[in-house]
Structures are given as C-alpha cells and as structure tokens.
Amino acid sequence: MTIEHILEPHLHDLGGGFVVRRLLPSAAKQGVGPFVFFDHFGPVTERPQDNHDVRPHPHIGLATVSYLFEGAMMHRDSLGSVQRITPGAINWMTAGRGIVHSERKPEDLRGQSYGLHGLQLWAALPLAHEEAEPSFSHTPAQAIPEHVAAGATVRVLIGSAFGMKSPVKTFQPTLYLDVAAAAGSELQLEASGLERAVYGVSGDLAIGGKRVAPMTMVVLAPGTSASITAPAGARYVVIGGEPLDGHRHIWWNFVSSSRERIEQAKQDWAAQRSGQVPGEIEWIPLPVR
C-alpha cells in the first residue's frame, strides 16, 4: 500500500483575516521526518490597506523554513539578520536555544497590490542540537539545483534527489522538493528509508493510482516507492526526512522534547528575556491558553 495517511487542512486565522491552511501537526501524524509544522498561505492579493505583518515573536528547538511561490516578505531577527524573502529561495532560520524574528511587508510594496503565496514549515531539531546556537541562512533561487524529466521540473530545495544535492545545510537527512508538473507527467519516487509526504499546492494528483485533491497531504507508507501523476498539470511539494528521534511537545512557537523547557521559554518571553529584533518596538504577547 503506497499511502499511509491522507491529511486534510485546518484553517487558521493568523490575524487581520490572514488565513492559512495547516496540515501539520495533525491528530493522525505529528510530523513527517523532522517537519512538525506545515502552513500553506495564499494565493492572496495583498492590498495597501492590509496589515498582515507578523510582529516579533520567539522560537526555540526548531528551524523555520520559508518558501515563496509569489510575492515578497522582509525577515528580521534578533541576530541582526535582514533578508528580503523572494520566490524560489530557501530561508532556514535555526532557533536552537532561542531567537526572535518578524516577517513584514517590504516597504517598497506597502503602497501596491501584489500576490502572495507560499509555505512555512518548521523542522524540529534533533535532541543533540535542540539548544544549538541560533543562526539564519539564505539560499537564493539560482543556487537551488533543478532536475527536468518527462514533463516535470523538480527543484531540490533541501536534501538529495535525482542525483542532485541542495546546498542548504541541515541537522539530519531532510528532503524538500518543489515540483512543477505538466499535464500527464509522471514522477517516480524510489523506495526510501526516509519518511515522506506529498502536498498538492494546485491541481489534482494521482498517487499510486488514487486521485488526490489539491491542498491535501498524502503521507507515503514507509519503505515504498510511489508514482505521482498530474493528469491536468499540478504544482506539489515532497517533504520528509529521517524519522525524528522522539516525540516533541509543541506550544505556540516553541518546540522541545521537554515540557519544562517550554515552560522556561514562556517565562522568558513574558519577561522579555528572549532577545529583541533591532529597530523593532512591537512584539506579540504570550498567548493566554
């Protein structure tokens, strides 16, 4: 059997009417490989009057992985990093023992309407690296290798596939592919020891002969090969990696193998001991829940 789980999205309003489709974590599956969080936002039209800026907020125990299909965002963090996020680039921020960041509309786009569409993932860090030094790494679109065959263009965002290797550094074997598939194209994924899932960004897919609607995540059965067909053309991603070394507790923006560590992170943020993004005076309060 090729398919282990089929996950449907849950809608979440991040504020100001900015709604995302959340696939991970789910009741059936906390994560796939190291990925314990998966949000799909857009496609939407950002208008001058919209305020969907994400004010400074903290993270521990994870790496955020930001990827855009369309639009732009400005990343700033407590390390002093300032990076414009653009389509096709991979932005990997290691929180480790703690980092604070914001994601805002670029100043040059504030008076314009423009499309915004992308994915936000979190990779939980292995136990040995949960308290790693925080860092930020930007890999531009032109540095991402591409594989083209049988009507499908595969961008190897993270990890190795089809004889190509991404330059993005990770803490454990990790896989992230962006596939633009022409009508009728078929992509073969060989059997692997990695956990893997396929998410349809747009267009119907057929996986192992089963029709799968877009905006649905298909978790592949361990150790199986898979045939992915796009009958009328589609855009989809493949995510996964080596199984995570144990369960993770997830509360708000914190991920850890220890509940006590999350409680400490809560206290630190409430007391504003987690760091500050240079030049930013706003911050998102600790949720009351």
Mean pLDDT of the chain: 96
Q: Are 288 and 72 in contact (CB under 8 A)?
A: no
pLDDT class of 289 with cuts at 50, 70, 90: low
Q: Which CATH number fits domain 3-241: 3.40.50.300, 1.10.760.10, 2.60.120.10, 3.90.226.10?
A: 2.60.120.10
Say whether 281 sits in a helix, a strand or coil. Answer: coil
118-155 pLDDT, tens per residue? 999 999 999 999 999 999 999 999 999 999 988 999 99
| DSSP per-residue string spanning 22-74 | EEES-SS-S-BTTEEEEEEEEEEEE-TT----EEEEEEBSEEEEEEEEES-EE
The rounded distance, in Å, linking the Cα atoms of 191 and 197 is 13
Question: Which of 238, 42, 244 has the alpha carbon at shortest distance from 157?
Answer: 238
Q: State the DSSP code for 249.
A: E
Reply yes or no on whether the pLDDT at 88 is more than 80.
yes
Q: Convert 179-215 to b/e letters by CB count within 10 Å (16 or more is b).
A: bbbeeebebebeebebbbbbbbbebbbebbeeebeee
Residue 3 structure tokens: 């398919």
pTM, to two decimals = 0.97
Half-sphere exposure of 98 (CA within 13 A, CB side): 16
